[in-house]
């Protein structure tokens, strides 16, 4: 079986020239379908930069990235956005919900961009909200929900269209312990359903709940519990 994610010799250099920052420094990484991977590292180690690459939000300075056997390292913005819509659900630390939309409207928004009919959208959004235990908060706005509930709405939004890959950047970073636990349970459930989960965190306890832990330091992978990539 070929890998879901296959990154070879990837570098990302910000501000090339005198003030250059080598945020990713010759990274090699393969992730198979249905893995649950945590990427851990200190502030500034390159985690978000790697997430931007994994999520096709940015392209590398050099090296290659094959996602589902497609070379995505040289695509245009439009092509990248198509791949993101098809393949990836994003969860961010700051939830990134739209404040004047209700929970269900937030979940529906990306489905509108995908051209899915109103009826189908409602069904998909309700199912996703149910999955995160928020069917009774459908018409609440973000300001009317706790941080943990807002993050669950963001997860529902990320999974409504059943993307094969869920990418989460510090999804529990703004949450208390109880809410963090709930979010981890939901991610574990998605993994059990067959999704690939890639979780970025600086919290060792959170990372320890993943199947595989990859440590990044100064833009390089310095440890991989699966024993790959080194």
Backbone dihedral region for residue 165 (phi beyond 0: left; psi -120 to 50: alpha; all else: beta)? beta
Pattern of binders to ligand ATP over 184-203, x per CB under 6 A?
Answer: ------------------x-
Distance of closest approach, residue 48 Cβ to Mg ion, in angstroms: 3
Task: Please choose, from the candidates 18, 35, 28, the residue with its C-alpha nearest in 3D space to the C-alpha of residue 53.
Answer: 28
Residue of 17, 43, 143, 177 interacting with ligand ATP (CB under 6 A): 43
Give the residue with the Cβ less far from ligand ATP, 49 or 125. Answer: 49
Residues near 196 by beta carbon (within 8 Å), at least 6 away in sequence: 4, 31, 32, 33, 34, 35, 36, 37, 164, 165, 166
177 binds, among Mg ion, ligand ATP, none (CB under 5 to 8 A by kind): none
Residues 126 to 145: which contact ligand ATP by CB under 6 A? none
Residue 17 is a binding residue for ligand ATP (CB under 6 A): no
Pattern of binders to Mg ion over 34-53, x per CB under 5 A?
Answer: -------------xx-----
Residues near 58 by beta carbon (within 8 Å), at least 6 away in sequence: 12, 49, 52
Residue 179 is a binding residue for Mg ion (CB under 5 A): no
């Amino acid at each position: 079986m070929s890998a879901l994610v296959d990154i070879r010799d990837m570098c990302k250099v910000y501000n090339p020239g005198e003030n250059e920052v080598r945020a990713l420094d010759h990274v090699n990484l393969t992730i198979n379908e249905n893995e649950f991977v945590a990427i851990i590292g200190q502030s500034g180690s390159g985690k978000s930069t790697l997430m931007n690459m994994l999520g096709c939000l940015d392209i590398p300075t050099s090296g290659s990235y094959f996602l589902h056997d497609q070379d995505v390292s040289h695509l245009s913005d439009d092509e990248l956005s198509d791949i993101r819509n098809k393949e990836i659900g994003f969860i961010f630390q700051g939830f990134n919900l739209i404040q004047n939309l209700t929970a269900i409207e937030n979940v529906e928004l990306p489905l509108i961009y995908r051209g899915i009919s109103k009826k189908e959208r409602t069904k998909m959004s309700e199912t996703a909200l149910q999955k995160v235990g928020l069917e009774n908060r459908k018409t609440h706005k973000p300001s009317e929900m706790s941080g943990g509930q807002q993050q669950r709405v963001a997860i529902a939004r990320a999974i409504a269209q059943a993307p094969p890959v869920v990418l989460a950047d510090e999804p529990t970073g703004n949450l208390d312990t109880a809410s963090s636990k709930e979010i981890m349970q939901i991610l574990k459930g998605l993994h059990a359903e067959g999704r690939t989960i890639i979780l970025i965190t600086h919290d060792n306890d959170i990372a320890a709940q993943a199947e595989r832990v990859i440590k990044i330091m100064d833009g390089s992978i310095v440890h991989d519990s699966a024993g790959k990539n080194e």
